[in-house]
Amino acid sequence: FERFRSLNVRSNDQLDELVSQCQNIVQGVQPQTLRDDAQVRQTFNRELSSVQATLDELLVDRPRRRIIRSPK
C-alpha cells in the first residue's frame, strides 16, 4: 500500500478508495489464520473479489500507439 502511494498513481479518487478498502481488508489478518480458518479465508476472498470487480470496471482499453518508421 505504501508502494502504491509512493508511485503517486492518484489520478482517480475511486482508485484511492479501493486501495484503502484493500488495506482495511488485510489489516490484522495473519497469514496463518488464512491457512487454517476456512471461514476467514472465504470472507477474505469474497471481500477482495468485490474490490477486483470494482477495479475491473475502472480499467479501460486504450488504443495502441501507431509508430511509423522511416524506411532505411
Residue 44 placed within a domain: yes
Whether residue 18 contacts residue 51, with contact meaning beta carbons closer than 8 Å, is answered with yes
Model-wide pTM > 0.85: no
pLDDT tens, residue by residue, 2-55: 887 777 765 678 888 888 999 999 998 899 999 999 999 999 999 999 999 998
By residue range, what is the domain housing residue 6?
1-49
Residue 58's SS3 state is: helix
Lookup: cell for 50: 468485490
Residue 66 placed within a domain: no
Q: Taking every pair of C-alpha atoms in the chain, what is the biggest distance, in angstroms?
A: 64
Residue 42 placed within a domain: yes
Residue 31 placed within a domain: yes
Count how many domains the chain has: 1
Residue 62 placed within a domain: no
Residue 72 placed within a domain: no
Residue 71 placed within a domain: no
